[in-house]
Structure 1
Amino acid sequence: MDPSTGVTGTGPGPGHTPLTPLAFLKRSAEVFPGKTAIAYGARRTTYEEFAAEATRVAHALRSLGVGPGDRVAYLAPNVPEALVAQFAVPLAGAVLVAINTRLAAEEVRYICDHSGAKVLVVDAGLHPTVAPVAADLATVKEIVTITDPAAGTAPDPAVGGIAYEELLERGAGDPLPWEVADENAPISLNYTSGTTGRPKGVVYTHRGAYLNALGEITHSRHTPESVYLWTLPMFHCNGWCTGWALAAIGGTQVCLRAVDAGRVWELIDAEGVTHLNGAPAVLRMIADAEGAHPLARPLVVTTAAAPPSPTIIGRMEDLGARIVHVYGLTETYGPYSVCEEQPGWPDLAAGDRARLLARQGVGMLQTDGLRVVGEDMADVPADGETLGEIVMRGNNVMAGYHADPGVTAHAFRGGWFHSGDLGVRHPDGYVELRDRAKDIIISGGENISTVEVERVLDAHPAVLEAAVVAVPNERWGERPKAFVVLREGAAVGLEELAGHVRERLAGFKVPDEIEFVAELPRTSTGKIQKFQLREREWGGRERRVQG
């Protein structure tokens, strides 16, 4: 005990309150009651109205039998109702399960069953996904349908349930407390893509979401004047916690039902957009849009989900955007690290600066930082060459996988979360991702980073995008093959493209094969699904190296 204060220092003080993002909306509804919180076409919602709707939905969910710790699933695009859910569901004491809108019916059923969702709220435009399994949802007691006039989609009677408007009518009640008893209680379940098996439910806590939102505010440079455009799916890591972040700072969130590059530019101009988030594929779409033009006002673009090439970073900066490159996983609430720009970087040549900005960088301020370790959990040398696995820990790493303690224990072996990503640490301390462990190519004992080869291909003026995977080779075990999408109207020969790589990389890294394709398979968040390309090439044969 400190004799001067009588405080033991063994726990929180008498004035302590648990951390929760719910406090963000409470504050902004009091501080900015008449300010526009949500914009969607002609529809405008003030902060006072935002908090009131969240309260009504919370009361209505309770009227449906939702209690503390119960799960409420949402299957909806980036519409205001999905944003309200980020506050309404935890305000009811429940846990939000935001489902990927591109999943098949059976995948949606599995997530609802695995999470134990008691209520499913679904956009009418996604009724074709739900209808085949609506009668087979083991734990869902009620289905609620959002009908969006902007979509012009009528509900399918086969889905049944009630309308969102009816849900709101059930939401009368006294104000609810914008607080929680336990900051380590779950606030949401976010399911992984499940490309190597059943998707896993990643548990986020109120504390982790609160802290990650503050990190988003700081590193993406949000202010009360921020106008954020939803080009990132809200279902993906709860939109990287950005919905909570913008509510905290009192900014405006512009909803966008589907990403269309032309519409993005219209909204940038009409709404005065200052911020947006997205994968490099989204940035490429924006930069290539017919209506692309130099920006009239500053635009902060925070990018992640796949390593961005220096080429796309340079193209967005040429339009006037400021790039914030972050890195993370579903298991880390989205962004965990940021490539902090150093004072001398703006003076560098554009290409050199873009290459530095393409690194994954250092831990964000709310994290414990990144480590790159070998199999013995010792840090690799900071030489920019020695490969190791990127590991993390701290408040912004998941509490675990829902109902899967064995997989959780394996993911946290050695006391750190194992990302499955391979990288290097540079002498300046910045980490650079080189590949997923399962994507790295081992050819004759030499490691080949697919990301490194892709970046070189991407730099060719005729190339729109590229993916490189391992293919079997009798002599070397495996060799790199490139799948390339060309820009519209562009033409390039195989030898020219291979020569372009050979001039910039060691000969053993040059792909033996280059196949031109119309498009590359992607996840809903813009990641290229290399496993599909790789499985096609291996034809059922077992790949005995790297996962």
Structure 2
Amino acid sequence: MPALSFEPMTPTSFLERSATVFAHRPAVVDGDLLLTYAELWERVQSLAGGLAAAGVRPGDRVAVLAANGHLPLEAVFGIPAAGAVMVPMNIRLSSGELAYILDHAEVSLLLHDDEHAPLARAASAASGARPRTVPSREYEALIAGSPPLLVRVEDELSPLSINYTSGTTGRPKGVVYHHRGAYLQALAMAMHTGLNASSGYLWTLPMFHCHGWCFPWAVTLAGARHVCLRKVESASAWRLIGEHRVTHLCGAPTVLTSLLAHPDAPAEALEPRLLACVGGAPPSPALLGRALRAGVEVIHLYGLTETYGPAVICQPQPEWGGLGAEDLAALTARQGVANVIAQRVRVVDEDGADVPADATTIGEIAVRGNDVMLGYHRDPEATAKAAPDGWFRTGDLAVMHADGYLRLVDRAKDVIISGGENIASVEVENALMSHPAVREAAVVARSDAYWGEVPVAYVSLADGAGAAEDELIEHVRARLAHFKAPKAVFFCELPKTSTGKVQKAVLRERAAR
């Protein structure tokens, strides 16, 4: 193909452009550190040069272990600028789990912040690869003493990064992203969320999780401000939202729940308005209703590590604007339709055929397109199993509505089979969270000698609220078939992953005990 009409896509090009177009506009706010787009681009190129001087060659793997801040944000551009492949690492994993990733990805160098220095050293020591660890002090020296470097991408389908799944059902799998997919997914996120040069994006979502749903690149292409938040604390979040005129944030429903429960949460719409992009689990209509009353706009997203984050969006329709809060919340709680760069999302039966769009027939979600991974690193069998006919099976169960919007019913592994009847845990959770005293709820299966399995609920109450076990059980029975109501309710703080997802595996273990 002639060079005149083709240039390989890579998300690093977004920063190269913004360094010119938005040179003197604020790019990064990280505590006392303020960087313009020109300064960010200069640091990124120097980081690439420093990596090369440290022995990193094109195709080598460089890992990053750090909380949200300028280091992982610079690395997401600087590592590919050196021609290397980035391996983001979850800061909540143990040293043994991280050592497995270092070995499986064949990492040669590990960048980390000072906070996680002991964990980085322990992981490196426990691995067979024993990559060199580079703490923040050496990282800054690497940038300060290196000439700029930019290795141009020749193949847009070459690996950009390896993102590891949570590994809840065994060893984590390495999901390989390519440059083209990340480039297009960033464009999709910017378009769907309305990012522009006046926007401020608060980093409530971990940057290591699916590359922050590709928002490091999306925010940058728009010339917006990255406002870094190392740890999600509601008071700090609301302070930064006010100080830096934040317009966008992302996270699991639990993140939005904790923000809205805080005393600093607004009672009416902020100026500028705040858009919360929610994914990772279906937000309950009750949570969406609370957000609407607080003047916080919510976009519901759905995706996986294997799809660069959000592959599906609950696309708002103009006609929804005239609906009441309850009807609007019910529509917004659906997962929606494929984003603009993906092929249509499907719900298929066991034979791979589309189920009827009757909002009742349950099937598995299947996706394909530019925002689907290249495959699993060093695991062709798992790759083939996940996409038996060229469509990636997500493992999530859903129904398709007549308007083409899908609604998640449950994870296949979270469906409770009681006396031969299927119970969707999400449905029971939504019923529980419609009670005014309930802040969060998670429902899992517990073994039962007669029924096989029965649902049990774990509930956290809103501050100052009270509710009894039998009260909540009756609340569910008034809304659902009686067999779907939990047989027991336990009051506690729900265990969560680093991205705010409820750890149902932990709750299943508790229920078994």
Q: TM-score range by the shorter chain?
A: over 0.9
Aligned residue for 1:81? 71
TM-superposed CA distance for 1:13, in Å, is 6.8
The equivalent of 1:363 in structure 2 is 338
Aligned to 2:34: 44
1:215 and 2:188 are equivalent in the alignment: yes
CA contact (8 A) 2:257 2:287 kept: yes
Tell whether the 8 Å contact from 1:64 to 1:142 is kept in structure 2 after alignment.
no
What is the Cα deviation at residue 512 of structure 1? 1.5
Residue 318, structure 1, aligned to residue 293, structure 2: yes
User: Structure 1: how far apart are the matches of 2:85 and 2:512?
Assistant: 41
From 415, 434, 448, the counterpart of 1:459: 434
1:197 and 2:170 matched: yes
Identity of aligned residues (%): 50
Q: Distance in 1 between matches of 2:126 and 2:464?
A: 49
Choose which of 94, 98, 107 in structure 1 pairs with 2:97. 107
- Conserved 8 A contact 2:347-2:355: yes
Of residues 107-116 and 508-517 in structure 1, the stretch that sits farther from structure 2 once superposed is 508-517
Secondary structure, in 3 states, of the residue corresponding to 1:97?
strand
Indicate how the Cα distance of structure 1 residues 13 and 59 shifts in structure 2: closer, same or farther if over 3 A, else same: closer
Partner Cα separation in structure 2 for residue 42 and residue 165 of structure 1: 16
Alpha-carbon distance, 1:140 to partner: 4.2
Relative to 1, partners in 2 of residues 1:409 and 1:12: Cα closer, same or farther, differing over 3 Å? Answer: farther
CA deviations over 1:156-184 (Å, ceiling 9, x no partner): xxxxxxx21221134224x525x310000
Partner of 2:499: 525
Residue 153 (structure 1) aligns with? none
2:510 paired with 1:536: yes
Q: Residues 103-125 of structure 1, C-alpha deviation per residue, up to 9 Å, x if partnerless?
A: 11111111111111111011111
- Output the CA distance in 2 between the equivalents of 1:490 and 1:319: 19
1:260 matches 2:233? yes
Number of aligned residue pairs: give it: 511
What do residues 342-398 of structure 1 show as CA deviations (whole Å, max 9, x unaligned)? 222121121111011010000001101210000000111111111100011111011
Counterpart residue identity of residue 132, structure 1: A
- Alignment check: 8 A CA contact 1:116 1:140 kept: no
The reply on whether 1:484 has 2:459 as its aligned counterpart is yes
Q: Which residue of 2 aligns with 1:543?
A: none
User: CA deviation digits over 1:446-469, x for unaligned, max 9?
Assistant: 211100100110110111111101
The residue type equivalent to 1:269 in the other structure is G
Partner of 1:226: 199
Contact 1:192 1:202 in 2 (8 A): yes
Distance 2:73 2:4 in 1: 34
Cα distance in 2 for partners of 1:134, 1:416 equals 37
Q: Deviations over 1:41-65 (max 9, x none)?
A: 2321011111110000001101111
Q: In structure 1, how many angstroms separate the alpha carbons of the residues matched to 2:11 and 2:202?
A: 20
SS of aligned partner of 1:528: coil
Larger Rg: 1
User: Counterpart amino acid of 2:504?
Assistant: K
The two structures have a TM-score, normalised by structure 2, of 0.97
Q: Secondary structure at the match of 2:413?
A: coil
TM-score, length-scaled by structure 1: 0.91
Spell out structure 1 runs of 4+ moving beyond 3 A. 11-14
Contact 2:446–2:456, Cα closer than 8 Å, also in 1: yes
- The corresponding residue for 2:19 is 29
Task: Return the alpha-carbon distance in structure 2 between the equivalents of residues 335 and 457 of structure 1.
Answer: 27
2:405 to 430, 433, 438: 430
* Contact residue 120 and residue 140 of structure 1 kept, 8 A: no
Is 1:97 the counterpart of 2:72? The answer is no
Deviations 1:320-351 (A, max 9, x none): 11111110000000000000112221211211
Match of 2:389 in 1: 414
Give secondary structure in 1 for the equivalent of 2:201: strand
Partner residue, 1:473: 448
Unaligned runs of 5+ in 1: 1-10, 148-162, 540-547
C-alpha distance in 2, partners of 1:235/1:134? 18
Correspondence list, 1:61-76, <5 A: 61-76=51-66
Of the three residues 150, 153, 158, the one matched with 1:176 is 150
2:349 to 374, 377, 397: 374
The RMSD of aligned alpha carbons is 1.4
Residue 345 to residue 318, structure 1, CA distance change in 2 (3 Å): same
Compared CA separation, residues 361 and 12, structure 1 to 2 (3 A) = farther
Are residue 448 (structure 1) and residue 423 (structure 2) matched?
Answer: yes
Equivalence map 1:300-339=2 (5 Å): 300-339=275-314
Secondary structure at the aligned position of 2:352 is classed as coil
Cα drift, residue 296 of structure 1: 2.9
